[in-house]
Amino acid sequence: MPPPRVNKNPRNETTTKDNTGTLNDPFKFLNQDYQELKKSFITNNKRFVDDKFPPESSSIDPNKKLKLDLDKIEWLRPSKIVSDPQLIVQGVSRFDYSQGPYLGNCWFLASVGALTFMNEIVDQVMPVDQSFGKDYAGIFHFRFWRFGKWIDVVIDDKLPTIDGKLIFVHSKTSNEFWPALLEKAYAKVCGSYADMHAGHVSEALLDFTGGVHVNFELEKPAIDLWSLMDRAAKTQVLMACGSRQGEKSENILPNGIVQGHAYTVTGVFKVTCQGKPVRLVRLLNPWGMAEWNSAWSDKMSMEDFTKNFEEIDICCLSPDFLDSSSKCSWTTTCYNGSWESGTTAGGCINNKESFWMNPQFRVRIEELDAECASGQCPENILVSLMQIHEKRYRSLVSTYSIGFSVYRMKDEKFPAKFFYSRRPVEDSGNFINTRHVMKFFKLEPGEYLIVPATFRPNESAKFMLSIYTKTESHKKGKKPAMTYV
């Protein structure tokens, strides 16, 4: 077995010469240019109709999986639904909308609820240069982060209705349409409305921010989770959670919690009751109904939160909230790579003869000063691995079970049987069939090798590996020493 291949020169494969795919210059989804299309339709005094996501049944439910009578659906522009349509009425709020009855996309709408707390991120996703007023041409655009790149998504404003009422997400203010248009833009990215049915809340959180994502299981959190949530709530983060599964999907418990359902975390608080501190969590159900009705309603204690909910997802622009010390900051390095059958798809460590073939990334962990190293957050590295897919329809995407292993490097020379003689010092845990896995952990100062892999050999796929490492603030801006192997 050949030794691991070490490239002495770091190579960040996400870097592009023209910076296309950034927020300032996003990719034009399906090659549609918002500004050019809008100008053309204004000049010709016409309303835009999107031929790439037409107002037809194929854009709603191409495979007829939803319980909808498609013949009853009429696509209407907001001006045909109300007399005075507005994109936004008195700002965006988590109270603006309710989920429609035909589509199980609570994972997406829970993320929308989190989005409403962050005006800066709202302006990224929903550019401000659009309205139903001056220069209206029936065209809108939204921006999402997809697998390492920002895309600009153009839509027309024809919305599916039955008897003049929106059939999917709808605003509680009858003439406000940002929720329905945002949902339509995301449905276009997914392929259809039906392709949004069922999902993980982390998917939309990442697509709204392009930032760092951390996930914690609530049964046995390894850290002081409430303190971390408290720090997160004070910064630019989006938080959502999932309730524990029941025997029936979306069954409502006597305490008001919907089982197997996504919620927005809208705040964390500390109060004093009978002389004792109580930690509370406030949640939003995207249904707009069915809420917690036990102790501390409308909030719940942290103890009740961990009993009723399975996991929490936190997504942010910067991971600095992870540590309570102002002397600590986090730096990021991202790489795009691939597993190719027969060459770089070696499978998990169980496959001793081929594991060495997997792409390998080398990182150096620096020693921190005492205050930074001993803060509330002793962990000093976050590794994130995401599969990249390019299929047009989300429901047709097949993912592999993925994970990663981390090895301590002792010298520059590798024995021929390196992976036979070494055990990983950390790993992602069980390989999971999902779009994204991450692990938050502590490593001693030194050099390490990170090996992302699919569970089985010869499974070809593209991936993005993001590595976040803790540094001292006076060293901010210095990237961790990283080598693609």
Query: Which positions are catalytic?
Result: 106, 261, 285
Q: How far apart are the first and last CA of the chain?
A: 16
Q: Nearest to residue 446, comparing CAs of 368, 332, 359?
A: 368
Q: How many CA atoms lie within 13 A of 144 on its CB side?
A: 23
Residue where the block lists tokens 């691939």: 338
DSSP-assigned beta bridge partners for residue 151: 27, 144
Other beta carbons within 10 Å of 259: 18
Go through the chain and tell me how many residues it has: 485
Residue 346 · residue 357 · CB < 8 Å: yes
Residue 138 · residue 38 · CB < 8 Å: no
Question: For residues 395 and 286, what is the distance between their CA atoms, to the nearest angstrom?
Answer: 22
Angle, vertex CA 466, rays to CA 462 and CA 471, nearest 5: 165
Instruction: Say whether 179 sits in a helix, a strand or coil.
Output: helix
Residue 372 · residue 364 · CB < 8 Å: no
Instruction: Say whether 112 sits in a helix, a strand or coil.
Output: helix
Q: Nearest to residue 322, comparing CAs of 408, 237, 199, 431?
A: 237
Question: For residues 257 and 414, what is the distance between their CA atoms, to the nearest angstrom?
Answer: 54
DSSP-assigned beta bridge partners for residue 134: none
Amino acid at position 250, single letter: E
Other beta carbons within 10 Å of 164: 10
